[in-house]
Amino acid sequence: MTQQHYPFSNPPLPYSYDALEPYIDEKTVRIHHDKHLQTYVNNLNLALKDYPEYQHMTLEELILNAYFMPQAIQVAVWNNAGGVYNHIFYFNGMTPNRNAPTGNLAKHMLAMYGSFEQFQEKFTNSALSVFGSGYAWLVLGMDGHLSIITTKNQNTPLPSGVCPILGIDVWEHAYYLKHQNEREAYIRDWFQVVNWQQANENYEKCMR
């Protein structure tokens, strides 16, 4: 994840806006990245503007320390640093280059879930179980086991002490224009553009 600190900027997508077609449509990607993510970036910068003592902190540090910050910015930092972190993670986790689970992550997933199909079914059910807005994640726990968790709103997996490998945004803005209320169809399409190379790199980083 990015080592940037205040003032945060919105990193460009690692692919063009229409690159994930037909699975994730151009208009959704454009609005999601340029409007939604940009708003989290702007609001995070606004919250930190008058607090130089926090301006050297990375996203991870802000999220893990938000609880100890003054009341006036606590919630804003938590939500907006989370929003920036989650969206960068989500956008970096997709690619137009079709690929399959790979490396040590693929081996661990097979050992844990029996088959990739079984993993996909479990992950899909978790993502469907998010009531309202949130995310589903594949994470590595401190016990060295893979698990699938969900977070609400812009909460991240970080405060639970787990290390994120793969994450899907299931806020309606991530899919409503194309898939309307069909979150399951969106999840199926998202699996077509998962960047397993990136997921494996995340996994290797988590293992260290």
Residues that bind Mn ion in the complex, under the rule CB under 5 A: 169, 171, 174
Residue closest to Mn ion when measured from CB atoms? 169
Beta bridge partners of 119: none
Q: How many angstroms from the chain centroid is the CA of residue 165? A: 9
> Which amino acid is located at 108 in the chain?
H
| 174 versus 199: smaller Cβ distance to Mn ion | 174
- Which H or E run contains 136? strand 134-140
Smallest gap from residue 32 Cβ to Mn ion (A): 6
Output the smallest distance, CB 135 to Mn ion, in A.
9
Q: Residue 26 Cβ, how far from Mn ion at the closest point, in Å? A: 16
Q: How far is the CB of 36 from Mn ion (least distance, A)?
A: 5
Two structure tokens written together for 134 = 């949130």
Q: Which is nearer to Mn ion, 36 or 188 (CB)?
A: 36
Q: For residues 69 and 72, what is the distance between their CA atoms, to the nearest angstrom?
A: 8
The amino acid at 142: M
Instruction: Using the minimum distance from each CB to Mn ion, give the nearer residue, 175 or 203.
Output: 175
Nearest CB to Mn ion, comparing residues 6 and 176: 176
Measure CA of the first residue to CA of the last residue in the chain; give whole Å.
Answer: 15
Minimal distance, residue 83 CB to Mn ion, in Å: 8
* Residue 43 half-sphere exposure toward CB, CA atoms < 13 A: 18
Distance CA 121, CA 90 (A): 19
* CA–CA gap between residue 14 and residue 94 (Å, rounded): 9
Pick between residue 169 and residue 189 the one whose CB is nearest to Mn ion: 169
